[in-house]
């Protein structure tokens, strides 16, 4: 038996002293000499916190639309335009951020993104014109949060995990999506007591608070911690791609665009973003307020969506490891569409049981689509999955931008959001059809043969 420290083979420790916490390679299988927590879980934990910190700002637009209208006299369409720019850049930045992480490392990109998000949020307290809102909310925060979008989830799970990838991707996805919703009642409370500027500064503080933890705990690759990927071997810790970030991102798009599954995944995810981040997140609170519901009550309902989103996304990650991801997407999109058809009559000044039921269901379904979509990206695109998923996520955010602006236009033109809810419901049914149309790309049957000896059985067990 020999022990591995980083990438170097060294003799196993002898003598009365216990060996330090290292990972042992026996017959190509990674095990541990102690019961210390694998570094992959620490990386996943700090990634979760970074996603929550960045998501703090994304709770702001839905709560502050009405306060900005009252102070500056801007229309819903004008404010929605800034939100749309934010969401579009949030998505379009993702594939380039994935390539930047390959070139410069995860830690540097995440720290820079947190600082940019904090600056964009904090400087809004000085704005006096709508173009400044677009510059700060749209461009600065869009670029910052986009650099920590779901491409970060794909990169971390792809580098640090071989086993439990579906579960971890579900947990990390819940961090980003839940953070922006759980912060909603805090933002609404701060706005009600001290004004919208206090809410913007609070979200700035949340982003800055995560920076020291990222600098301390986040590592780029398992080899940097003297370990191997969780459930894998040193061979699974592949060398980074050393090429231009823009070139890598564009090349990933060019290669993926020749594949039918890419367009089906991107189309479904466009509708996913349209029906969640783009429509419900920024416009649910104003829509509820139109029907006499207090802003704080509506914000609390979206916070409940965030709470149930944790359970729904983690459960979806667990199911993705066990169930055909296409079937999961079919169920998620179809049920989401039917629930949106039922939403308009549920609005009212009082909180009814039917509205609570809608909120619970929508929370469970909010980003449950991410783990199966990411699994299908890995299945079809292999090692390039993080960059390709970045482009699929870009489609998600383009859908978000379309709905964020379109919802504001519908409200200004018709005086109601009803048409927007019905249109989103119909598109969700279309997304269900697109998802089940994706062909599987499973390995050959020989690759799943039963192990023939104890060493092969041990290797199969280590890989989950």
User: Residue 420 sits in a domain of what CATH number?
Assistant: 1.20.1250.20
Range with top average pLDDT, 53-57, 90-94, 157-161, 455-459: 157-161
- Residues comprising the chain, all counted: 464
Residue range of the domain that includes 17: 2-34
Asked if residue 264 and residue 149 are part of one domain, the reply reads yes
Asked if residue 275 and residue 251 are part of one domain, the reply reads yes
Averaged pLDDT of the chain? 79
| Residue 410, pLDDT score | 92
Asked if residue 131 and residue 144 are part of one domain, the reply reads yes
Predicted TM-score (pTM) of this structure: 0.67
User: Stretch 409-426: mean pLDDT, rounded?
Assistant: 92
Is 454 within the bounds of a domain? no
In tens, the pLDDT along 369-415 reads 988 998 899 888 887 787 788 789 889 888 988 998 899 899 889 98
Torsion of CA 333, 142, 54, 243, to 10 degrees: 90
Residue 265 pLDDT greater than 80, yes or no: yes
| Residue 85, pLDDT score | 87
Is 84 within the bounds of a domain? yes
Number of structural domains in the chain:
2
Higher pLDDT, 305 or 149: 305
Is 229 within the bounds of a domain? no
Asked if residue 290 and residue 262 are part of one domain, the reply reads yes
- 10 Å CB burial of residue 253 (0-12, 13-18, 19+) is middle
Is 86 within the bounds of a domain? yes
| Residue 84, pLDDT score | 83
- For 24, phi then psi, to 5°, come to -100, 140
| Residue 363, pLDDT score | 85
| Residue 337, pLDDT score | 94
Question: How many CA atoms, within 13 angstroms, populate the side-chain half-sphere of residue 126?
Answer: 7
In tens, the pLDDT along 104-126 reads 888 888 899 889 988 988 898 89
Three-state secondary structure call for residue 282? helix
Torsion of CA 156, 159, 160, 162, to 10 degrees: 120
In tens, the pLDDT along 314-370 reads 899 889 888 999 999 999 999 999 999 999 999 999 888 999 999 999 988 887 898
Asked if residue 27 and residue 47 are part of one domain, the reply reads no
Asked if residue 97 and residue 9 are part of one domain, the reply reads no
| Measured distance CA(37)–CA(312) in Å, rounded | 26
Is 457 within the bounds of a domain? no
Count of other CB atoms within 10 angstroms of residue 39: 21
403 close to 279: Cβ distance less than 8 angstroms:
yes
| Residue 428, pLDDT score | 95
């Amino acid at each position: 038996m020999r022990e591995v420290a980083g990438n170097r083979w060294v003799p196993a420790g002898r003598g009365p002293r216990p060996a330090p916490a290292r990972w042992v390679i026996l017959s190509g299988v990674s095990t541990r000499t102690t019961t210390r927590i694998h570094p992959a879980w620490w990386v996943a934990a700090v990634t979760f916190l970074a996603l929550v910190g960045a998501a703090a700002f994304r709770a702001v637009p839905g709560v502050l639309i009405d306060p900005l209208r009252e102070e500056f006299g801007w229309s819903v369409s004008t404010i929605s335009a800034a939100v749309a720019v934010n969401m579009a850049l949030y998505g379009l930045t993702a594939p380039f951020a994935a390539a930047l992480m390959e070139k410069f490392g995860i830690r540097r990109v995440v720290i820079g993104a947190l600082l940019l998000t904090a600056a964009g949020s904090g400087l809004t307290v000085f704005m006096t014109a709508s173009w400044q809102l677009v510059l700060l909310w749209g461009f600065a925060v869009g670029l910052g949060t986009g650099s920590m979008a779901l491409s970060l989830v794909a990169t971390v799970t792809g580098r640090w995990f071989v086993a439990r990838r579906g579960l971890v991707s579900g947990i990390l996805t819940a961090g980003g999506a839940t953070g922006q919703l759980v912060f909603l009642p805090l933002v609404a409370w701060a706005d009600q007591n001290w004004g919208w500027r206090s809410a913007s500064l609070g979200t700035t503080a949340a982003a800055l608070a995560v920076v020291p933890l990222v600098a301390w705990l986040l590592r780029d690759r398992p080899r940097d911690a003297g370990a191997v990927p969780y459930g894998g071997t040193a061979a699974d810790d592949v060398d980074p791609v050393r090429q231009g970030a823009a070139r890598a991102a564009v090349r990933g798009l060019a290669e993926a665009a020749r594949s039918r599954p890419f367009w089906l995944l991107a189309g479904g995810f466009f509708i996913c973003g349209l029906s969640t981040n783009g429509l419900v997140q920024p416009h649910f609170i104003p829509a509820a307020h139109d029907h006499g519901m207090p802003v704080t009550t509506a914000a609390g309902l979206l916070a409940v969506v965030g709470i149930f989103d944790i359970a729904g996304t983690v459960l979806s990650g667990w199911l993705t490891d066990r169930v055909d991801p296409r079937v999961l997407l079919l169920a998620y999109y179809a049920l989401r569409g039917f629930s949106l058809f039922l939403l308009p009559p549920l609005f009212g000044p009082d909180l009814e049981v039917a509205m609570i039921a809608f909120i619970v269901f929508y929370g469970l379904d909010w980003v449950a689509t991410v783990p199966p979509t990411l699994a299908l990206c890995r299945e079809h695109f292999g090692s390039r999955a993080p960059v390709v998923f970045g482009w699929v996520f870009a489609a998600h955010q383009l859908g978000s931008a379309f709905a964020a602006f379109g919802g504001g236009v519908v409200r200004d033109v018709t005086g109601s959001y009803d048409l927007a809810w019905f249109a989103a419901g119909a598109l969700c049914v279309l997304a269900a059809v697109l998802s089940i149309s994706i062909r599987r790309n499973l390995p050959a049957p020989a690759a799943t043969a039963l192990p023939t000896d104890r060493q092969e059985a041990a290797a199969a067990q280590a890989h989950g």
